[in-house]
Chain A
Amino acid sequence: MIRKEAIRLISKEIVGDVIVSANGYISRDLFEVNDKPTNFYMIGSMGLASSIGLGLALQNPKKMIYVFDGDGNILMNLGSLTTISKLKPKNFIHIIFDNSSHESTGGQPTSTNKISIDAIAKAVNFKVFRCNSKKNLDETFKKIKNISGPIIILMKISKSEKISKRVSLPPKKIKSRFMKSLQS
């Protein structure tokens, strides 16, 4: 499955809750398939989706916080997994779209075809699920409804050929409508 399709399927399941999407093609895909004020699109600050998501999760315990991350992104901020694990936010669901590549910079390889992010996540006490199809994604979403976070879903995806358009909202607009959505 390509990332855009995975993002379409997953974001459809998330209604009224928050999505923090990592910079690069993840934010672009989400913007194209399911734009809504509860999405916080990162367009810079590579690697920090999980940290922004942690701050949101701690301050908004009544909302579920979903982080849409990439393998390149999380490898830049693996330390954040230890901080998240130490604080154990129950409402934190971290989805890592893993294509073993830095796709938005030309498809250079990451190390995730040689190392196991799920083993790293398990070692720091995340509840970990691994998916690669619509079927096991559906099953996983059913399962996680009954368990508390922090959760990591490692979604294996293939590289895409088409590139989604850039997020056309100005950053201040992304922020203001997002902040407003948190109040409701």
Chain B
Amino acid sequence: MKKLTQRQIFDYLFNNGIENFVGVPDSTMKYFIDQGLKRKKILITTREEEAIGIASGFALSKSNSLVFMQNAGFANSISTITSLVQLYEIPLVFFIGWRGYLKKDAPEHMKIGKIQPNLLKILDLPSKIITDKNWKVSCNWALKKLANHESSALIIRRLFCD
């Protein structure tokens, strides 16, 4: 995704009610995170589950939160999603990188990249792939879910292999 789009996504979500951005960085979304760092709105945690815990504390205080992570971190987070986010119905927006989307990517990205869509499906976590073209519609979809007290995930594909 283009640098500019990533920055626009951050600003759009921030200007439309997301007050907290908590997570573990991913190079796939580094300009999104950079935009948040510039605005002093990013909280980087040691692990993804920790980020979800903190964001849940925010959400229980009625403060809208987004949790960002790599898909490796998404895999780490599955129990926290089922036994905290879904168990108590705590509304959050997940922003998840999709490493291993390309057929040629680093070996450690391949397996998780392959199973990621199915993981989202069996978790019953509604998700949309966010792109340069549909970013505003996708953001509005996630914001609407949040307004209805529902969690959702925006997936950002890794379209490069460096």
Query: Chain A: residues with CB nearer than 8 A to chain B?
Result: 20, 40, 42-60, 77, 79-80, 82-83, 87, 171-172, 174-175, 178-179, 182
Report which of B43, B80, B89 forms a contact with A172, defined as CB distance below 8 A.
B89
Tell me the bound Cα distance from A172 to B47 in angstroms. Answer: 26
Report whether B53 and A175 are in contact in the complex, using a CB–CB cutoff of 8 Å.
no
CB neighbours (8 Å) of A77 from chain B are: 47, 49-50, 53
A-B contact count (CB 8 A): 106
Report whether A79 and B47 are in contact in the complex, using a CB–CB cutoff of 8 Å.
yes
**3 tightest A-B CB contacts, nearest first:** A55-B57, A44-B83, A51-B53
> Which secondary structure dominates where chain A touches chain B?
helix
Report which of B43, B50, B84 forms a contact with A80, defined as CB distance below 8 A.
B50
**Nearest neighbor of A44 in chain B, beta-carbon distance:** B83
The segment out of B2-10, B59-67, B112-120 that lies at the interface is B59-67
Report whether B49 and A60 are in contact in the complex, using a CB–CB cutoff of 8 Å.
no
Tell me the bound Cα distance from A82 to B45 in angstroms. Answer: 9
Report whether B46 and A54 are in contact in the complex, using a CB–CB cutoff of 8 Å.
no
CB neighbours (8 Å) of A174 from chain B are: 88
Tell me the smallest distance from the CB of B37 to a CB of chain A, in Å. Answer: 14
B54: Cβ under 8 A from any A Cβ: yes
Report whether A58 and B57 are in contact in the complex, using a CB–CB cutoff of 8 Å.
yes
**Nearest neighbor of A56 in chain B, beta-carbon distance:** B57
Report whether B87 and A43 are in contact in the complex, using a CB–CB cutoff of 8 Å.
yes
Report whether B87 and A55 are in contact in the complex, using a CB–CB cutoff of 8 Å.
no
Report whether B60 and A56 are in contact in the complex, using a CB–CB cutoff of 8 Å.
yes
CB neighbours (8 Å) of B53 from chain A are: 45, 48-52, 54-55, 77, 80
Tell me the bound Cα distance from A162 to B80 in angstroms. Answer: 29
B127: Cβ under 8 A from any A Cβ: no
Report which of B50, B60, B63, B88 forms a contact with A79, defined as CB distance below 8 A.
B50
CB neighbours (8 Å) of B47 from chain A are: 77, 79
Tell me the bound Cα distance from A12 to B79 in angstroms. Answer: 33
B56: Cβ under 8 A from any A Cβ: yes
Query: Chain B: residues with CB nearer than 8 A to chain A?
Result: 43, 45-47, 49-63, 65, 79-80, 82-84, 87-90
Report whether A83 and B56 are in contact in the complex, using a CB–CB cutoff of 8 Å.
no
Report whether B57 and A52 are in contact in the complex, using a CB–CB cutoff of 8 Å.
yes
**Residue with the highest number of chain A CB atoms closer than 10 Å, among B46, B54, B84:** B54
Report which of B54, B79, B88 forms a contact with A171, defined as CB distance below 8 A.
B88
| Known interface pairs A51-B50, A55-B59, A57-B57; 8 further A-B residue pairs with C-beta atoms within 8 A, sorted by A's residue number | A43-B83, A45-B49, A48-B52, A55-B60, A56-B61, A79-B50, A171-B87, A182-B61
Report which of A50, A59, A80, A172 forms a contact with B88, defined as CB distance below 8 A.
A172
Report whether B57 and A51 are in contact in the complex, using a CB–CB cutoff of 8 Å.
yes
Q: Known: A40-B60, A54-B57, A59-B58. Is A175-B50 also a contact (CB below 8 A)?
A: no
Report whether B46 and A55 are in contact in the complex, using a CB–CB cutoff of 8 Å.
no
Tell me the bound Cα distance from A58 to B45 in angstroms. Answer: 15
Report whether A45 and B83 are in contact in the complex, using a CB–CB cutoff of 8 Å.
yes
CB neighbours (8 Å) of B80 from chain A are: 45, 48
CB neighbours (8 Å) of B82 from chain A are: 44
CB neighbours (8 Å) of A45 from chain B are: 49, 53, 79-80, 83-84, 87
Q: Known: A44-B83, A175-B90. Is A80-B60 also a contact (CB below 8 A)?
A: no
